[in-house]
Structure 1
Amino acid sequence: MTHWRIRDFHSTDLDGILHLWESLKATNVEPVYALSEVMASCEKDHAVVAVMGDQVVGAAVGRAAHDQGWIVFLATLPEYRNRGIGTSLLAAVENRMAPHGLNKLSALMPESETRMDAFLDRGFVLKKNLRYFERTIPIQRQELEPLGLLGGRILARDLWENVAGMRREKELLERRLVLPLAESDLADEYGVVPPRAVVLFGPPGTGKTTFAKAIASRLEWPFVEVFPSRLASDPKGLAGALRETFLEIAELEHAVVFIDEVEEIASQRAGDPPSPLQGVTNELLKIIPAFREQPGRLLVCATNFIRALDSAFLRHGRFDYVIPIGLPDREAREAMWRRFIPEAVVGDVDIALLVERTEGFSPADIEFAARSASQRALEKAVYDDGGTGHADAGIFGAGERRGPSTQDYLDAVGDTRTTVSEDVYREFLDDIDVLGRV
């Protein structure tokens, strides 16, 4: 009688792993880990196979993380079960992971799996009252190195929720950008082509960069900011460095690519002979159509001076939307003030008055005024004590409230020079009618 034997996994065994996977599915057992994960662990982690002659009749795949080990896959062909192969496979893969100094080895099995003897024979204990939670992380490990070379980042997941106020802008960006990109299959059913490139325009300090980052956070895509000023020092020149950067971005699975103050490299072309800057604009105009052909990417360009952009840059076919980001309305200003005022004193501050006094303020202006009021209140509490300057808890009386007052905020608001003048804002409103595209 021919006997089975156990050996280390070889790359030529992938077809055998696939056959084992399919045999599980045929018995209505849905493996916990996806086939791609199992295949990747076979190559990168720890895997053993049971063979009968040249045929793979069983396999066990394990993954070690610090002192915790996981059984990613365990299967034998139906006709070879109940022969002790599973128990031997578990023992073998555990031996391969032993050098990691594991103090716990765990396995997740589908609820429909009834063949538990191999685990029980190896001393595993079935845990009761446990639930398995899973969340897919869109960033793959192999992307981290090229992302790092590009200076890209994985942003915190809550940036979108933390954008205070600006409800109209958030709703517009959610509907036009996030929805078709996050739900691309659904968008395809409705014939919606997900956007590939957008321009955000508006006065300085209105939060265009914040929104670009929030979009990346909302999509859970890497955020890559392209700095033309840094690329200008490249030996290949700005145009060549820009081309090379976008070729490297093409290696990423997903990305939100952000260019701030894009008017610096896409301004109106004029003059004869062409200037070096016109060559950069020409290069960018060639890059965008190629970028648009790659799914899973979004180019966000921001500008304070949309009238300065070259007319060819904004035309249909390059940018899907040209979206205005204006000054916050009353609701947005209230949300911002509530975010910046310390929780301990927010109930004592006349927020409605601050909202009224900060009409025409940008988000950056409001944040500056709030931070300034807090600093002033702190200095007043510490140093307005006869000049001793003792910054210790003893300067506060028992039960005395600490934190800025309404007057502190009003003083700071009065001393804050607004970023956006009335003339600039009127021009912005005109630009919405002439150049906006939502």
Structure 2
Amino acid sequence: MVRIRQRPRVREAHADDIDGVVRLWQSVAGSGGAVYSLAEVIASCREDVAIVAVVGEEVVGAAVGRAAHAQGWLVFFALDDEVDPGVAGELLDALERRMAPLGLGTLSALVSEEGGGASHLEHNGFHEQRHLRYFERRLPVQRRELDLLKEVGGRVLPRDLWNAVAGMRQEKNLLEERLVAPLAQPELAARFGVVAPRAVMLFGPPGTGKTTFARAVASRLDWPFVELFPSRLGDAPGGMASALRTSFEKIGELEHAVVFIDEVEEIASRRGGTPPSPTQGVTNELLKLIAEFRDRPGRLLVCATNFVRALDAAFLRHGRFDYVLPIGLPDAEAREAIWTRYIPTDSLGDLDLPRLVEASEGLTPADIEYAARRASQEALGRAMRDGESAAGLETDDYLSALESTRATVSPEAAAEFSEDIASLARL
């Protein structure tokens, strides 16, 4: 191998050396050897410690370090192939001398199995710790986006919301296949010719969990969740249409986002009539915004409505919403999970849970929660009256509470929902 005849000079990095470090990182990344991202390496060059080997003004080697508490980390190390391997020791020694005053106990390095560099480390006093494993999680919101996310009322949701939606397997499978998989695994989706969705409409009777599913999708994708409230937009200076556009423009600056609009019929009702509907201008604006929203990757608009029939026909056309998905009443598995969530653990083993599941058919999650809390409240009152002789919670307590619970979804509404599935759903 032909080596560079002039021996490189080792010194601290200057601002003008960044381009050379980037070139080295790209060379290492091309062979699968980069552990830290380019952004992290550049940040450490500017803010932490960076040593370079140069021939003239050309950067032919670099060692970049970062201190965290008493631990030092080798963020990046690379050397051109033509450079004498002995320069590696000079780079690492210079980095160690520069970082020593920081009070570090150890200097550690993470090396990709695919990349090189391990031999240089072994020859310069680094010892491989075979019992260690490296884990990494990319944060869903970067620092520069935090203020913007707060401004639009968004937040990062807990990562377990998807698993917390028990039962409802048909709905979850549908959302997983249609929404989550194409967005989370775009390369796999492209292999099968699947285009990632940009917008989806969820419809169903009140209280069936449309908001819960929207939040669960955001949690599953690990994307920020931004909910827009039509009622609040209406109070903004300049009117609802202007507030809606401003909100979408700000959201457009985020790298990823699930945008949720509940009760979208408030701003997307049927147009027409004399005089025109007061919300007609807002509906027109929202239709334009959806078209623009669809041009940006890394975003998903989820709208929800209890009255899908009331929506303007233009909303449900192909090209605006990729899917129009029904969200119905909880199935038996979901009802069992809801009961389990609200029944005290000490009482759960003494109850006839299958009987409660059967008796609560046709109820929404909120209905079941109300019945469970009512039964607990009645049992507490009984204990206060009867003292130690009071019986604990029994199945009859819950059955009695169910008799006093009015179903949110009437049989007529359930029948209309079935008709809407047949005529409007797009799966």
- TM-score norm. by structure 2 comes to 0.89
Rounded to whole Å, the distance in 2 between the matches of 1:248 and 1:357 is 47
Quote how far apart the aligned CAs of 1:262 are.
0.4
Equivalent of 2:245, from 232, 237, 243? 243
Equivalent of 1:20, from 18, 21, 24? 24
Quote how far apart the aligned CAs of 1:294 are.
0.9
Comparing 65-74 with 256-265, greater Cα deviation is found at 65-74
Equivalent of 1:279, from 281, 284, 291? 281
Rounded to whole Å, the distance in 1 between the matches of 2:206 and 2:186 is 33
Unaligned runs of 5+ in 2: 1-5
Distance of aligned partners of 1:257 and 1:93 in 2 relative to their CA distance in 1, 3 Å threshold: farther
Instruction: Describe the SS at the equivalent of 1:365.
Output: helix
- The match for 1:389 is none
- The match for 1:38 is 41
Instruction: Describe the SS at the equivalent of 2:317.
Output: coil
Quote how far apart the aligned CAs of 1:133 are.
2.3
Equivalent of 2:406, from 406, 413, 417? 417
- The match for 2:121 is 116
Instruction: Describe the SS at the equivalent of 2:341.
Output: helix
Show the 5 A alignment for 1:383-394.
383-385=384-386
Comparing 31-40 with 172-181, greater Cα deviation is found at 31-40
Rounded to whole Å, the distance in 2 between the matches of 1:192 and 1:5 is 51
Quote how far apart the aligned CAs of 1:350 are.
0.4
Q: Which amino acid aligns with 2:34?
A: P
Instruction: Describe the SS at the equivalent of 1:345.
Output: helix
Equivalent of 1:74, from 74, 77, 87? 77
- The match for 2:52 is 49
Quote how far apart the aligned CAs of 1:260 are.
0.3
Rounded to whole Å, the distance in 2 between the matches of 1:227 and 1:104 is 52
Superposed CA deviations along residues 284-303 of structure 1, whole A, max 9, x for unmatched, are 01111111111111110001
Quote how far apart the aligned CAs of 1:245 are.
0.7
- The match for 1:208 is 210
Distance of aligned partners of 1:184 and 1:410 in 2 relative to their CA distance in 1, 3 Å threshold: same
- The match for 2:421 is 432
Q: Is residue 231–residue 237 contact of structure 1 (8 Å, CA) maintained in 2?
A: yes
Distance of aligned partners of 1:156 and 1:115 in 2 relative to their CA distance in 1, 3 Å threshold: same
Superposed CA deviations along residues 298-347 of structure 1, whole A, max 9, x for unmatched, are 11000111111111111111111111111122232223223332333322
Structure 2 residue 63 is the aligned partner of structure 1 residue 60: yes
Comparing 44-53 with 325-334, greater Cα deviation is found at 44-53
Distance of aligned partners of 1:271 and 1:46 in 2 relative to their CA distance in 1, 3 Å threshold: farther
Show the 5 A alignment for 1:99-114.
105-111=107-113, 113-114=118-119
Q: Is residue 166–residue 333 contact of structure 2 (8 Å, CA) maintained in 1?
A: no
Superposed CA deviations along residues 239-279 of structure 1, whole A, max 9, x for unmatched, are 01100111111111111100000011011112334344111
Moved over 6 A (4+): none
Q: Which amino acid aligns with 1:87?
A: L
- Percent of pairs identical after alignment? 59
Superposed CA deviations along residues 164-213 of structure 1, whole A, max 9, x for unmatched, are 21111111111111121112111112211111111111111100000000
Comparing 155-164 with 266-275, greater Cα deviation is found at 266-275
Q: Is residue 263–residue 309 contact of structure 1 (8 Å, CA) maintained in 2?
A: yes
Quote how far apart the aligned CAs of 1:29 are.
7.6
Quote how far apart the aligned CAs of 1:151 are.
1.1
- The match for 1:227 is 229
Superposed CA deviations along residues 2-46 of structure 1, whole A, max 9, x for unmatched, are 772412441x323311343356579x6823223443234334544
Equivalent of 1:373, from 375, 387, 399? 375
Distance of aligned partners of 1:278 and 1:68 in 2 relative to their CA distance in 1, 3 Å threshold: farther
- The match for 2:3 is none
Q: Is residue 90–residue 118 contact of structure 1 (8 Å, CA) maintained in 2?
A: no
Superposed CA deviations along residues 145-172 of structure 1, whole A, max 9, x for unmatched, are 2112111111111101000211111111
Superposed CA deviations along residues 37-73 of structure 1, whole A, max 9, x for unmatched, are 3234334544332334322233222234455442211
Distance of aligned partners of 1:193 and 1:104 in 2 relative to their CA distance in 1, 3 Å threshold: same
Equivalent of 2:161, from 159, 162, 177? 159
